[in-house]
Amino acid sequence: MADKKPQKAGEYSANQIQVLEGLDPVRKRPGMYIGSTGPAGLHHLVWEVVDNSVDEAMAGYGNEIVTTLNDDGTVSVSDFGRGIPVDMHPQFKVSALELVLTKLHAGGKFGGGGYKVSGGLHGVGVSVVNALSSYVRAEVKRDGKLWMQEYAFGKPQAKVKEIGNARGTGTTITFKPDPTIFETVEFDLQTILDHLRQHAYLTRGVKFAVIDARVKSATAGYAFYFEGGVASFVRHINHGKAVKNTNVFYVSKHDDASDMDVEVALQYTDEYHESVFCFANNITNAEGGSHLVGFRAALTRELNNYARSKGFLREKDANLTGEDVREGCTTVISVKLKDPQFEGQTKGKLGNPEARTAVEAIFGEAFKVFLEEHPRDGEAIIGKCVLASQARAAARAARDTVLRKGAFEGLTLPGKLADCSSKDPSISELYLVEGDSAGGSAKQGRNRENQAILPLRGKILNVERARLDKMLANNEIKSLVIALGTNIGEMFNIADLRYDRVIIMTDADVDGAHIRTLLLTLFYRYFPELIKQNHIYIAQPPLFRIAVGKQFRYVFTEEEKQSAIDEMTDGRGMTGAGAKESKVAKGAKEEAPEEAEESPDGAQALIVGGMKVNVQRYKGLGEMNPDQLWETTMDPATRVMKLVTIEDAEKADNVFDVLMGEDVAARKHFIQTHAKSVQNLDI
Ligand code: 0RA
């Protein structure tokens, strides 16, 4: 679909747009259209508008898309496509522009075949953005004129107007999200940059510019443009790693039989794990799917054929396995097809069977040619695979001995595990606790019935660089694996999981963050199913305990602390009309408490508006007594836990690679610059 066949102007006209219904359902149930009304849903509005411009660019019109975060809370997305048609729709007697902005379209698509749509899951249409915005302004340059229409809460405020002359063509959509719908209306620049960078890799030859005009003094501009498409993506992922084939393999081809675009890039590194990122119509498929199946089949087949024909494998040698050829392989697979079907728990898996056939054929054929034409790269790749195969055989032998000894049979639960008395996994929890002192408090404070405690001492093994056989020798990891009951590697079986919830409980400081990241890496690399099936959590110990008289509260951030103090003192510490609006904490922060004294244990006594407020700051889990630990962090009735999700495999991989990989300088820099935010690490 990316073949840029120019269409004749006017080939597409307003009557090709199929109309379904008005926008009321969108305002009633926003989540159904944009997933949520939290920050993810808010940013979804931007993706939606950008997707429309991407479609236009992919159809061959315009090669630049500019996203601007304006200082009045609006976002503008401009493209240089044909411009949304403004002519009158013969049946509905309104401008096509108004139809596009005010009516929900069938499956989010324009019917009639005139317009190609890339968005599958997102593609709900720009009308959804309009429905969820307090203000929208659409500007269209077409036929030498500039046209404009404005909307409020999805309703046109006037007819489409011609407001001047214009050079060139294009569309600009400016919108202000409705604050009564969204939890927050503040756009996050980094989120937008990350998303658009990825889009740029997947949309070869289109420039994505971002302007943050919210801070006048420091207006910042960014642009992403990748001539190499997904090959640039692979280079980016592998940046800083030791690579095997210096030439990145790349193919981009249209499959006529299924009318599908297939793009694959691949490069081996000296690492042990596989990094593969799959997309269908620019939507990430965290669970893979048919395109991935096709790719893997062809990869194993072509490398075995090559190894045999060039004598890297002798007659008596066994074939390379899928695992052998995937070790250290970084791959991006992107397909674009008419009717993507998404399956799986999170709709993150591509279902279309024709994608398997198309990717297997197109990738297989091109990879075979690549190996022939780049003998040095071919040799480096095959050398890595053969080594992997030999190491795997050795590791298997080593592990078999360990396994035979019964170390992982669950018969010998580790001594330092304080197990729960229940044997029912569905109600059982395992707390992984940093350090022995916190472990001691947790053991005393817990509910013995269903809460087990495993203290982990020191830094567990850095799993990123270790092979399975080495890991199995590490005591901390051995204890953990035995406690989990699932076994590991090929022997992994989730049915044997002994606890429904595995809760990582570490301090809210840099060391705690590091241990948490190590554990997350371990789960991510070796127990991904535990994450995918929602078994891994992060405990959130509070930062402060605020007490006023007999009343007390635990809070998790500085802001919460301030608003809790305001609320608990009825805003007496504040002055003026805004005093009651203590949630807005702005005025409150500037108000100095009338008196403050700090005692050596970190407790602070303030007098706010004549009331005595006690603020205790917790430095670490070890400082809480067993009762406090139970009350603040372990009591199911009051605790706050964060579910660990594999939301974005690339992000996770990057964080882990930076934190765990060989690049020490990058690691230092990351930890220093993210020391505070790392505690919110969303892998
Ligand atoms: C319908 C038909 C045509 C273009 C578009 C929609 C269009 C939509 C968007 C949304 C953002 N930017 C856009 N650019 C174009 C084709 C009109 C023709 O044939 O000239």
Residue 77: the pLDDT is 98
pLDDT confidence of residue 444: 94
Statement to judge: residues 487 and 415 lie in one domain: yes
CATH number, residue 432: 3.40.50.670
391 with 425, same domain?
Answer: no
Structure tokens at 229: 């498409």
Burial of 550 from C-beta contacts in 10 A (0-12 / 13-18 / 19+)? exposed
- pLDDT at 677 > cutoff 70: no
Q: Are residues 447 and 358 in the same domain?
A: no
* Same domain, yes or no: 580 and 464: no
- What percent of the chain has pLDDT above 70? 79
Phi, psi of 161 (to 5 degrees): -115, 145
Asked whether residue 152 is assigned to any structural domain, the reply reads yes
- 143 is annotated as an active-site residue: no
11 within domain boundaries: no
Q: In this structure, are 184 and 211 located in the same domain?
A: yes
SS3 19: strand
Distance CA 356, CA 352 (A): 8
**What is the domain-level CATH number for residue 309?**
3.30.230.10
Q: Which atom of ligand 1 is the closest one to the Cα of 96? A: 1
Dist. CA 676–CA 632, nearest whole Å: 21
Top pLDDT among 671 and 273 is at: 273
User: Do 649 and 501 fall within a single domain?
Assistant: yes
Stretch (H or E) spanning 177: strand 170-177
In a domain, 13, yes or no: no
Residue 635 lies in a domain: no
Q: Are strands 429-434 and 451-456 parallel, antiparallel or unpaired?
A: parallel
Q: How far is the CA of 70 from the centre of ligand 1 (A)?
A: 24
Q: What DSSP letter does each residue of 531-554 carry, written as one string?
A: HHTT-EEEE---SEEEEETTEEEE
- Spatial CA neighbour of 656 closest among 528, 481, 497: 528
Q: What are phi and psi of 175, to 5 degrees?
A: -140, 150
List the alpha helices (DSSP H) in 374-491. Answer: 375-404, 436-445, 468-471, 475-484
> Residue 63 falls within a domain, yes or no?
yes
Residues 6+ apart with CB under 8 A from 311: none
Domain total of the chain: 4
Question: For residue 377, is pLDDT > 90?
Answer: yes
Within 13 Å of residue 522, how many CA atoms lie on the same side as its CB?
24
Q: pLDDT, tens digit, for every residue of 70-119? A: 999 999 999 999 999 999 888 778 899 999 999 887 433 443 333 344 44
Q: Of 176, 195, 224, which residue constitutes the final position of a domain?
A: 224
List all residues whose CB is within 6 A of at least one atom of ligand 1.
9, 11-12, 52-53, 56, 79, 81-82, 84-85, 110, 115, 171
Residue 435 lies in a domain: yes
Residue 54 shares a structural domain with residue 173: yes
Let me know the angle formed at the C-alpha of 531 by 123 and 236, rounded to the nearest 5 degrees.
Answer: 60
In terms of Cα–Cα distance, which of 210, 236, 212, 205 is closest to 223? 210
What is the rounded average pLDDT for all residues in the chain? 82
Q: What angle in degrees, to the nearest 10, is found between the helix axes of 230-237 and 649-660?
A: 30
Catalytic residue among 79, 507, 631, 657: 507
- Euclidean distance between the first and final Cα of the chain, in Å? 33
Say if CB 146 and CB 163 are below 8 A apart: yes
- Is the residue at 7 inside a domain? no
Return the higher-pLDDT residue of 414 and 268.
268
pLDDT band for position 650 (cuts 50, 70, 90): very low
Residue 475 is part of which domain span? 407-541+642-677
Residues 72 and 153 in one domain: yes
Residue 478 confidence (pLDDT): 82
496, 511, 598, 635: which one is catalytic?
511
Place of tokens 């301090």: 507
Q: What is the pLDDT of residue 566?
A: 87
Please tell me whether residues 165 and 29 are part of one structural domain: yes
Active site (annotated) includes residue 436: no
pTM: 0.62
What CATH number is attached to the domain comprising 165? Answer: 3.30.565.10
pLDDT in the model for residue 275 = 94
Kindly report, residue by residue over 139-164, the tens digit of the pLDDT: 999 999 999 999 999 999 999 999 99
Q: Sorting pLDDT into bands at 50, 70 and 90, what band is 45?
A: very high
> Would you say residue 525 lies in a domain?
yes
